[in-house]
A = this chain, B = another copy of it.
Amino acid sequence: MSLRHAALGLLAQSPGSGYDLLKRFEHTLAHVWPATQSQLYTELGRLEAQGLIEVAGTGARNRKEYAITAAGRDELQEWLRHPVREVPRDANLLQVFLLGEVDADVAAAHLAELEGRAREHLAALQSLDRSIAWDDSARDRYARLALDSGIRQRRAITEWAADAQGAVRAHEDDPSR
């Protein structure tokens, strides 16, 4: 039920068309809450039907400019009062959990690949951070905090993956069974 609030939140920051929002999803929310074009347009229709957003104007090429309504802002602020309780599904951890079902060398290669990917992801987030000209608005302050959280989590994963390979290798050398 979060895409709904993601769209509402972006419209609270500034009005725009479905197409505009899609670009914003791709640029700023790609690593946090990806959305497809199909999903977005469907959701915008629903939000409008519920009176949380409205068509503030139309432009060329059938463009519909959406804006958040007072009711929408209330709904958004209520949602932001408390952190959502969700169990984050992590397919990579699931795989690690099951890694005993393959040969030790395959498992080691898997962990090495995980580490490489995490390192790349970390580098991408850091370069994103550097490439943005942050201002001192509340919007940028919180966006930056969110990005920082992502960076720290990726860093933790990178370090873990390196240590995990060490542990596996140590056991391979000395399977003190």
Identify the A interface with B (CB < 8 A): 2, 5-6, 9, 12-13, 28-34, 73, 76-77, 79-102, 104, 106-107, 109-110, 113-114, 117, 136-139, 141-143, 145-146, 148-150, 152-153, 155-157, 159-160, 164, 167-168, 171, 176-177
Question: What's the nearest-Cβ distance from chain B to residue A46, in Å?
Answer: 18
Compute how far the CA of A95 lies from the CA of B87 in the bound complex, rounded to whole angstroms. Answer: 15
Contact of A146 among B6, B96, B156 (CB under 8 A): B96
A93 touches B177 (CB 8 A): no
Given contacts A2-B94, A32-B94, A89-B33, contact A99 B156 (CB under 8 A): no
- Of A83, A88, A148, A155, most buried by chain B (CB within 10 Å of CB) is A83
- Are A101 and B2 in contact (CB-based, < 8 A)? no
> Closest residue of chain B to A144, judged by CB?
B167
A34 contact set on B, CB distance < 8 A: 87, 89
When the two chains form their complex, are residues B138 and A100 in contact, meaning their CB atoms are under 8 A apart? yes
Q: Are B86 and A106 in contact (CB under 8 A)?
A: no
Question: What chain B residues lie within 8 Å of A30 (beta carbons)?
Answer: 87
Top 5 closest pairs, chain A to chain B, by CB = A100-B138, A9-B98, A156-B156, A97-B146, A100-B139
Residues of B near A148 (CB, < 8 A) are 160, 164
